[in-house]
Structure 1
Amino acid sequence: MLITISGLPGSGTTTVSDLLSRHYGMEVISAGEVFRALAKEKGITLAELGELAEKDETIDVQIDKRQQEIAATRDNIILEGRLAGHMVPHALKVWLKAPIDVRVQRIVGRENTFFTKALGETLEREASEALRYHEIHGIDINDLSIYDLVIDSDRWDQFQIFHILSTCINTLMDKGGEPPVDMS
């Protein structure tokens, strides 16, 4: 089974992916990890690769291609990343959402920074990514219609989200392990 967990920064994708991974024994392939590996291969910092990605769309394309290659050659994995659902159409696709103030507060908590600084950086990052996704792939990151499930991580905590997702995953596994075919 392939599962994608996507969402904006601070929405809880890493936490939920880790809970599912531990429970189901599935490996998590994070777009962030792919990004870090690419930076290491190029011998540059994450910030330098981020700046390079804003000027060179082949960076994003490389990361997306690596996720697609991983999904095509392996099974029983969780792909975590903003565009993972778009890169692997045959997966169970999940989007986690939360209001910007909630997401920024989570970022503040994990990065030990100030709210206003984190808010500005998050809004800038999201605007940059949204522009790149649209220019490179024609993807509107705010269009959630491709996702099988959209869950508000402000309404439910990570354990409740895990319970919701495990119910869905177990149901799919009982039906042969694959998400239903879209008949539209």
Structure 2
Amino acid sequence: MEGIATQLPALLGVLVGTIGTIVATSLADRSRWRRNQTVRWDERRLDAYAEFARALKEAHTIASRLSGGHLDRDAALAELAEADFRHTLAWENVLLLGDAPTVLAARAWRDTVWAVERLARDGQADDERPTLLHRANEARDDFYRAARGGLGVGGGSVAQAELLASRLNRRPDAQTGTPAQR
């Protein structure tokens, strides 16, 4: 019995060490899993945001050029319908994966582009066209700010609305609004 009593501290040390190793390994594995999940969802979120932006920008470009009288109406309306379909599919991924501020910004951009589309489909000249195009560019900037914030992307501002507006005001074709589509 005395032999066990002298070995008891060593056995307790081994037991405590084993339990400590198991706990530390579990915590490290859990932390690594969470990090991997965060990276995985951030990658998917980035893909969803990029796909949405691409599809909505395509619809915006077609609609703004059509409203400016720069495209064949029938062909442009068909292209616009296809772009709207792609945008609708991309919107679902944003809803599924996006954080609340980005979804709100995406919705505002989408609604502004829809207003540009309505103007294009109506086919009537509108004095509000330059203002509407600028609002769409501002909404795009807001979307990118929210998306970059949600994804933790740094690097400063990538806003384009004011730059596009200043280019538009310096060009002789300022009334057409075509530089705002770039």
Query: Which structure is higher in RCO with an 8 Å CA cutoff and minimum separation 6?
Result: 1
| Shared fold, TM over 0.5 | no
Going by fraction, where is strand more abundant, 1 or 2?
Answer: 1
Larger CA Rg, structure 1 vs 2 = 2
Normalised to the residue count of structure 2, the TM-score between the two structures is 0.30
Normalised to the residue count of structure 1, the TM-score between the two structures is 0.30
